[in-house]
Amino acid sequence: MTGKEILHKIKTSDRWSHIRPRPGLRHPRILERASAKSQEEASGMATPWWRENRDTQWRIIKKVDDNELGLFAVFDGHLGHSVAHYLPAHLFENILKEPEFFSDIETALRKAHDRTDNKILEKSAELGRGGSIAVSAILSNGLRLVVANAGDSRAVLSKNGVAIQLSVDHEPSAEQEIIEEKGGFVSNLPGDVPCVDGQLAVARAFGDGSLKKHLSSEPLIVDETVDDDTELLILASDGLWKDPQTAAKNLTEEAVARKSKDEISCIVVKFS
C-alpha cells in the first residue's frame, strides 16, 4: 500500500481527528474511537488519569495547493491543559500560513513555532501560566515525512524492522550552558530530575511565561523520505516510553497495567 493510499484511507474513515481529555475521571480508562476498517492505518490513544489529563492528540488530512498533507501531533501539557488544547489547531494553522512551507519547510516550522509561542504568551491571562511539550509530523503526498519536536515527547520511525528515533529529549542538563547564558539555572537535587530554575524538567516547551527567558520553543526538525521500507511512525508523550510496545493500544494498556505515573498519549501512523 502506498503512502497516498494510506492518506486516502485515513481521510475517508470515521475515526476522530481530535481527542479531548475528559476531566474529573476517578479511574484510569482508555479513550478510543476507531472503525475496524481503518484501525491499522492510524491509531491514537489517550489515558485520562485520576487527575485531569493534560495530553491532547491531533490528526487531520488537508488538501493544500494540490498537495495532500497528513498532520499528526501529540501535545503534553503541564500546570494545566489550556496550552495543550490551544496548540492543535493553531500550531498547524500557523505552519501552513508560512510562505516558505513548500520551499523551505524547516524555516516555516521554526517561524510557526515562534509565532505560536508568542501568541500563547500574549494570551496568558486566558490560557494560564502552564505550558506544553509538542511532537508533530507532517506527511506530504505520502512521500515525505517531516517531524518536529520541542520537549521530551518522542517520534520513532520503523524502517525495515529497525526503530529509528527522530526526536531528541530536550533535557535541561543537555542545554545547561544555554540556560545559564540566559540567566537561568539547572537544579540537580538528589532523587530528582534536572529542572530549569528548579521547576520544569524540559528545556524546550510552549508557554511557561514565568520561565520563558530561560526556555526555548525552537523545534528539532528531521526530514525523512517515505519508501517501501517505511513501516510505521509512533508519536507519544514521555509517559508512554517508560513501557514501550509496538502499537498505540498495546503501548497504552501496558503502561496503565504497569502503573506508569504520567499521562500517556500516543499516535501510530502505519505506512505499509
Q: pLDDT digit string (tens) for 36-83? A: 333 334 445 444 433 344 557 777 888 998 999 999 999 999 998 999
Residue 126 backbone phi and psi in degrees, to 5? -90, -40
pLDDT tens digits, 206-260: 999 999 999 999 999 999 999 999 988 989 887 766 544 444 565 556 656 666 6
| Spans of all domains in the chain | 3-170+204-270
Mean of per-residue pLDDT scores for the chain: 78
Angle at 219 between CA 44 and CA 82, to 5 degrees: 55
Q: Residue 250 has what pLDDT?
A: 58
Contact 248, 268 (CB under 8 A): yes
Q: Write down the architecture of domain 3-170+204-270 according to CATH.
A: 4-Layer Sandwich (3.60)
- Which pairing describes strands 144-150 and 131-140: parallel, antiparallel, or unpaired? antiparallel
Higher pLDDT, 192 or 114: 114
User: In angstroms, rounded to a whole number, what is the distance separating the alpha carbons of residues 259 and 256?
Assistant: 5
Q: For residue 95, how many C-alpha atoms fall within 13 Å in the half-sphere facing its CB? A: 25
Does this model's pTM top 0.75? My answer is no
Residue 141's contacts (CB-CB under 8 Å, 6 or more residues apart) are 3, 4, 7, 67, 68, 69
Q: What is the pLDDT of residue 59?
A: 79
